[in-house]
Structure 1
């Protein structure tokens, strides 16, 4: 006896198979919109889900502000002839007598070569004693030595020459043409001049940062700002350390985009639309343009402004939603600022999952028919 299956039974079986396949967890790039919204605080989740608009964009448009403190900006240019500990001086002393304190018999001048300024900033001159050299100019040192010797020999004449100036140096490391230790000389007394002496910037200028470390103080500026803001071309000091490095900020791209990776910033500021373009745009075969999400841990003050609440304490988990199909959706994405550590996630279009389900069903049905044919033979 041959049993016949009704169309209703076939439909029910098909629906059951669809449900079975769907419940098996087909492969996908990540959660869908429904699952993300299920994690909202309103649904007992732990994240605030916020649709991006002009108010939200204004509240979250925070970019790193780099610059020098007043201590750096107000430092005057060091004189090229100011003596420093470690410098080497050359002294010549003339005495107006035949039998002088220092000069050999028959000679009027005494030459003291390579007199080094000690760590405390002093030099020693016979009969004049310890002379404070560091912080003084060669002319002032000449006056001090003359005053000391004047009481012991009539009308002494002194010449002070700076032979080497490596006592006042800075170190330049990182993304420059020639890393090294450089003396502060007349042509290299400012930051831009010293960087030029070190071979200039050897990394992408748009994301290059310059950090100057002076004792316990450290400040960072953008390379581009060094030339757009003349006050940032600060005077250097002995012992300054200059570090040139690329911006370390990055965001993560996941979901239905051209690539899924950790992406470094290529500009000082980065919008959501630029971030999407940077990873190859939305996948035309997979992406849902109504489901572009930005996941972020938002500082307390900004979270309060975004949500209009005063009862929040500490960093808050925020999920910002961009719908590119809205009339102003592209503009909102263009104005919304991406920050360091953000995760940009694009959901798959609903039909993609149905396609996967149907493909799985078609494959399963083909397998079943093959098995049935084999069993009937």
Structure 2
């Protein structure tokens, strides 16, 4: 284990006999052949100050290495000196786990190191499901963000933490929107909107439709269902789509599904939803005809009612 900036250091110096640098010659004046140097904190430059040795660079060194340095600095003035250095309190190699955890805390890194998920476990784990939790790692002035589900699935993202790291868990539910010929807002479980949250890490289009109430049987055209999202241009170019007219790195994309056929339903059950996807269900052509006929039917009914009243 190495010493870090901010650690509290204790130094004890032993001499072979009295009359040296630290132990007085007069017998009985003090017990033992050692002296304890007052504890001190490693400064921002990584140094401590040792009597008769001056400034000693200790940050990044082991306690044994610092003991040897101190001994070499005072050996010409003390009587066969030996120095024992110990870390009383570790403050320089601490990490913090904050945010949406059950027990936010700050603690020193174990000598064998600690990985990201182990640190989160030490803080009591996340308050919310992994698919709603983002892991923010702040290190050396930069912040790295990844979903907890991704860290769980990919062991290489479960990185070793370094002194000074700050891990912040944030709750960021993923959502999708549904428009068009679907049940009216409020008719599905009392949810008075068209914005729904994910219920798992890999929600499919079929699951998303089921949560939002499915298609409106009286109005929906099951042959014309679309999922709108932005896709990276290289992905679309590899599929043979011309996206040169879009100056951005991603291009607006619409995926079409025909749920009137069995294979469309299978595709919907394998199509993975993404955060902020938009589902649009087109209206059936017959709906437009019904809309056209409604005013005519109303007018016909009114004429009939008037004729009956004047008889």
Per the normalisation by structure 1, the TM-score is 0.69
Q: In structure 2, which of residues 86, 97, 111 is the aligned counterpart of residue 172 of structure 1?
A: 97
The alpha-carbon deviation at position 340 of structure 1 amounts to 3.4
The change in CA–CA distance for 1:285 and 1:103 in structure 2 (over 3 A counts) is: farther
The alpha-carbon deviation at position 86 of structure 1 amounts to 0.6
Contact 2:21 2:79 in 1 (8 A): no
Asked if 1:98 is matched to 2:18, the reply is yes
Q: In structure 1, which of residues 129, 132, 136 is the aligned counterpart of residue 57 of structure 2?
A: 132
Contact 1:89 1:161 in 2 (8 A): yes
The change in CA–CA distance for 1:337 and 1:193 in structure 2 (over 3 A counts) is: closer
Q: Which has the larger displacement, 365-374 or 271-280?
A: 365-374
Q: In structure 2, which of residues 222, 232, 236 is the aligned counterpart of residue 289 of structure 1?
A: 222
Matched residue, 1:84: 4
Matched residue, 2:235: 302
- Higher share of residues assigned strand: 2
Q: After superposition, give the CA deviation of every residue in 1:107-144 in whole Å (9 maximum; x if it has no partner).
A: 32211232111111100110011111111111111111
Matched residue, 1:65: none
Matched residue, 2:85: 160
Contact 1:187 1:193 in 2 (8 A): no
Matched residue, 2:212: 279
CA distance in 1 between partners of 2:72 and 2:164 (Å): 32
Unaligned runs of 5+ in 2: 186-192
Matched residue, 1:208: 133
The change in CA–CA distance for 1:276 and 1:306 in structure 2 (over 3 A counts) is: farther
Matched residue, 2:265: 330
Matched residue, 2:197: 264
Matched residue, 1:318: 253
Contact 2:103 2:123 in 1 (8 A): yes
The change in CA–CA distance for 1:188 and 1:176 in structure 2 (over 3 A counts) is: farther
Q: After superposition, give the CA deviation of every residue in 1:303-328 in whole Å (9 maximum; x if it has no partner).
A: 33344447555354433221111342
The alpha-carbon deviation at position 334 of structure 1 amounts to 2.7
The change in CA–CA distance for 1:331 and 1:312 in structure 2 (over 3 A counts) is: farther
- Higher share of residues assigned helix: 1
Q: After superposition, give the CA deviation of every residue in 1:51-80 in whole Å (9 maximum; x if it has no partner).
A: xxxxxxxxxxxxxxxxxxxxxxxxxxxxxx
Q: Which has the larger displacement, 336-345 or 167-176?
A: 336-345
CA distance in 2 between partners of 1:125 and 1:170 (Å): 29
CA distance in 2 between partners of 1:373 and 1:287 (Å): 38
Q: How many residues align?
A: 296
The change in CA–CA distance for 1:257 and 1:174 in structure 2 (over 3 A counts) is: farther
Per the normalisation by structure 2, the TM-score is 0.82
Higher RCO, Cα 8 Å, sep 6+:
1
SS at match of 1:173: strand
Q: In structure 1, which of residues 178, 192, 199 is the aligned counterpart of residue 124 of structure 2?
A: 199
CA distance in 2 between partners of 1:189 and 1:310 (Å): 45
| Aligned ranges 1:46-125 → 2 under 5 Å | 81-103=1-23, 106-107=29-30, 108-125=33-50
SS at match of 1:148: helix
CA distance in 1 between partners of 2:154 and 2:130 (Å): 16
Unaligned runs of 5+ in 1: 1-80
Contact 1:304 1:312 in 2 (8 A): no
The alpha-carbon deviation at position 255 of structure 1 amounts to 1.4
